[in-house]
Structures are given as C-alpha cells and as structure tokens.
C-alpha cells in the first residue's frame, strides 16, 4: 500500500531531522509513515519535485544526493517548468542509480507505483510546450 503526501509534510531521507525537505509530492510504502497527524516521513520511495529558478540547483544536487543515500528511495523525478521535460533517477536492482530524460511526446513510467503517464497529461493546462 502506498501513501502519497504533498508539500505540507517534511521528508527526512536520512531518518534524522537533518536534512529535512518539503517535497512537491512524496510516496511512502512504510506503514510507520502513515500516521494521520504525522509531520514527516522517514521512508520515501518516490519523490517528485517541480523545478523553479530558486530551487533547481538544490533539487539537482543536494536533494539528489540525499535521496540517493536514502535506503528506501527508488525513484526521484524532477519536472521542468521551462519545457516538457522530466529527469528520472532510478535505483536499479544492483543498487546503482541511472538517469533517464523524458521529453515532448514521451510517456513517463512511475516504476515504483506501476503507473505510466503521458507528458501531454502531466503538462496539460500549464502553457508549457
């Protein structure tokens, strides 16, 4: 079972209070993260960040490293706000991370949760070509 949380819940990728991030979307499948009054999750599986000018450097460096060090993390997706582009970082069965970039007419697989979403659907009503 998956629990989806929005930007109101902190993600603690090392299990400790530092670092602590507010993500755009996070998914966990750890029942310990399911408390209705929880202020943070410690075992994210999938995280999606939407880039902005002020956060893109942190999203692509500091957060990427922290999420890749988190044992429960399997996917980290970064969505551009300048063009139809999503960078997907995924942990392979061997524990190594790979990067795939999806653009324009691609369909983005959210492997962890078994969902495929076309870019046209993701970027619908955004005005981003």
Q: What is the mean pLDDT of each run of 10 residues along the chain (129 residues)?
A: 82 83 91 80 94 92 94 96 96 97 96 95 91
31 located within any domain:
yes
Nearest to 88 by CA among 70, 53, 105, 64: 64
128 located within any domain:
no
Residue 95 φ then ψ, to 5°: 90, -10
- For residue 6, what pLDDT is reported? 80
CB burial of residue 91 (10 Å; 0-12, 13-18, 19+): buried
60 located within any domain:
yes
Number of domains in the chain: 1
Three-state SS at 36: coil
50 located within any domain:
yes
- For residue 16, what pLDDT is reported? 75
C-beta of residue 27 within 8 angstroms of C-beta of residue 4: yes
Distance, C-alpha 70 to centroid of its chain: 12
């Amino acid at each position: 079972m998956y629990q989806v949380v929005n930007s109101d819940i902190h993600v603690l990728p090392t299990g400790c209070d530092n670092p602590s991030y507010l993500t755009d979307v996070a998914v966990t499948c750890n029942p310990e993260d399911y408390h209705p009054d929880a202020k943070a999750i410690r075992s994210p599986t999938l995280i999606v960040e939407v880039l902005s000018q002020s956060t893109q450097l942190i999203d692509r460096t500091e957060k990427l490293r922290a999420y890749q060090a988190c044992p429960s993390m399997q996917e980290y997706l970064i969505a551009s706000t300048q063009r139809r582009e999503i960078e997907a970082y995924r942990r392979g069965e061997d524990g190594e991370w790979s990067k795939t970039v999806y653009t324009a007419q691609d369909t983005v697989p959210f492997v962890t949760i078994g969902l495929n979403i076309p870019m046209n659907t993701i970027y619908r009503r955004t005005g981003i070509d």
